[in-house]
Amino acid sequence: MTAETAGPRDAGDALLARVVGVTRRYAEVTALDDVSLDVPAGQLLGLLGPNGAGKSTLLQLLCGLRRPTSGRVELFGLPPTEPAARRSLGMTPQETGLPPTLRVGEVVDVVAGHFAAPMPTGDLLERFGIADLRRRQTGGLSGGQKRRLAVALAFVGRPRLVLLDEPTTGLDVDARHDLWAAVREYHREGGTVVLTSHYLEEVEALAERVVVVDRGRVLVDGTLDEVRSAVPSRRVRLRAAAPPALAGADVTRVVSDGDRHELWTTDADDLVRRLVRSGTDFRDLEVASASLEEAFLAVTAGAAGPASPTAAPRPGTEKEVAR
Ligand SMILES: Nc1ncnc2c1ncn2[C@@H]1O[C@H](COP(=O)(O)OP(=O)(O)OP(=O)(O)O)[C@@H](O)[C@H]1O
């Protein structure tokens, strides 16, 4: 790879961004509640969480579009609102406006004009699988094509850090996989990425570190394996007059519907042993594995802590059990 085409090469130990004890409120809504997060160079970090969790707010703080209500945010050691801090940053927000009469290649050229050593337009379009759209006006592109272009634009200036807010929303499976490949390639070259997603599948495919956010709080921050072991991955179903009370069992959530009860746990064997010992009059016992997606939803649905006023109401049949 020549100096002209070299991508970002970060050492791997520097912190490119820091969020320290940040709270961000919008009127009465607490979007982020005392969040701290370090982004080391070379990491591919996935922010996972349901709607309204605070993911976009976190990215907007990192890129200086918003300021924290309290706490501190640093980007390359500077306040993110300083233009010098944003020079090495690439960003794709959730919604992007593109000038409709410009052709795809022209849009890339315009953005590239802001950088000292941009990626050649052809290489960028190739990498993101949209080289065939180069002469098309952006106004005539499909939603998915626009999205791919918008994401590609974050990489034009060979940034050291890229923030991607739900990059694959609206993309079909092939386009999604192409985009993942492009993000991985950038990462292999030493680039650092923070991406948000609702989809575990996406985070699983890309991220080496996963931060689960819900209601403005970080619930889990670790490797994918650590996240897996932190979520209840088994559910035990049974019928009984009332949900069994099993002291000492690792039950994180109970969902009841009449005499049917579903208990979520990380240890189904232990739960069943305790169930039998409890003398509960049960029948139709079933133990099923939850997908990681379901397990993740169970964690965020059952998250303890002060719910913000924006938290979605939980179904009345659910009973959350403190761990
Ligand atoms: N400009 C704003 N004014 C008022 N409230 C806002 C504003 N922006 C975000 N919020 C609220 O802050 C909370 C966090 O929103 P945010 O967009 O950061 O979440 P998110 O995790 O990105 O959600 P999604 O996955 O739906 O994009 C939500 O309750 C949202 O309604």
How confident is the model at residue 252, as a pLDDT? Answer: 80
* β-strands 192-197, 44-48 pairing: parallel
The CATH fold of domain 232-299: Alpha-Beta Plaits (3.30.70)
> Residue 196 Cα, ligand 1 centroid: separation in angstroms?
13
Domain with CATH 3.30.70 in the chain: 232-299
Asked if residue 73 lies in contact with residue 19, where contact means CB atoms within 8 angstroms, the answer is yes
Q: For a ligand 1 pocket test, name from 55, 198, 202 the mutation site with the most ligand atoms within 8 angstroms of its C-beta.
A: 55
* β-strands 251-257, 209-214 pairing: unpaired
C-beta 65 within 6 A of ligand 1: no
How confident is the model at residue 234, as a pLDDT? Answer: 83
How confident is the model at residue 119, as a pLDDT? Answer: 94
Domain with CATH 3.40.50.300 in the chain: 15-228
Which class in CATH covers the domain with range 15-228?
A: alpha beta
Q: What is the pLDDT along the chain (323 residues), one digit of tens a residue?
A: 333 344 455 655 599 999 999 999 999 999 999 999 999 999 999 998 888 899 999 999 999 999 999 999 999 999 999 988 988 999 987 677 888 999 999 999 999 998 889 999 999 999 999 999 999 999 999 988 999 999 999 999 999 999 999 998 888 888 899 999 999 999 999 999 999 988 778 888 888 899 988 899 998 898 877 777 666 678 899 999 999 999 888 888 888 999 999 998 888 999 999 999 999 999 999 998 766 666 666 666 665 433 332 233 233 334 444 33
C-beta 54 within 6 A of ligand 1: yes
C-alpha span between 268 and 286 (Å, rounded): 10
Q: For a ligand 1 pocket test, name from 22, 24, 29, 48 the mutation site with the most ligand atoms within 8 angstroms of its C-beta.
A: 29
C-beta 226 within 6 A of ligand 1: no
C-alpha span between 7 and 26 (Å, rounded): 37
| Burial of residue 319, with CB atoms counted within 10 A of its CB: 0-12 exposed, 13-18 middle, 19 or more buried | middle
Alpha helices in 5-132 (DSSP H): 55-62, 83-86, 104-112, 121-127
> Residue 57 Cα, ligand 1 centroid: separation in angstroms?
6
C-beta 26 within 6 A of ligand 1: yes
The atom number, within ligand 1, closest to the CA of 57 reads 18
> Residue 285 Cα, ligand 1 centroid: separation in angstroms?
41
The atom number, within ligand 1, closest to the CA of 94 reads 27
C-beta 57 within 6 A of ligand 1: yes
C-beta 18 within 6 A of ligand 1: no
- At a CB cut-off of 8 Å and minimum separation 6, what does 78 contact? 84, 85
C-beta 53 within 6 A of ligand 1: yes
C-beta 39 within 6 A of ligand 1: no
ipTM of predicted assembly, 2 dp: 0.97
The atom number, within ligand 1, closest to the CA of 309 reads 29
Closest protein CA for atom 7 of ligand 1: 26
What DSSP letter does each residue of 129-149 carry, written as one string? Answer: T-GGGTTSBGGGS-HHHHHHH
- At a CB cut-off of 8 Å and minimum separation 6, what does 74 contact? 15, 17, 18, 20, 80
How confident is the model at residue 205, as a pLDDT? Answer: 86
State the maximum Cα–Cα separation within the chain, in Å, rounded to a whole number.
Answer: 74
C-alpha span between 233 and 227 (Å, rounded): 11
C-beta 51 within 6 A of ligand 1: yes
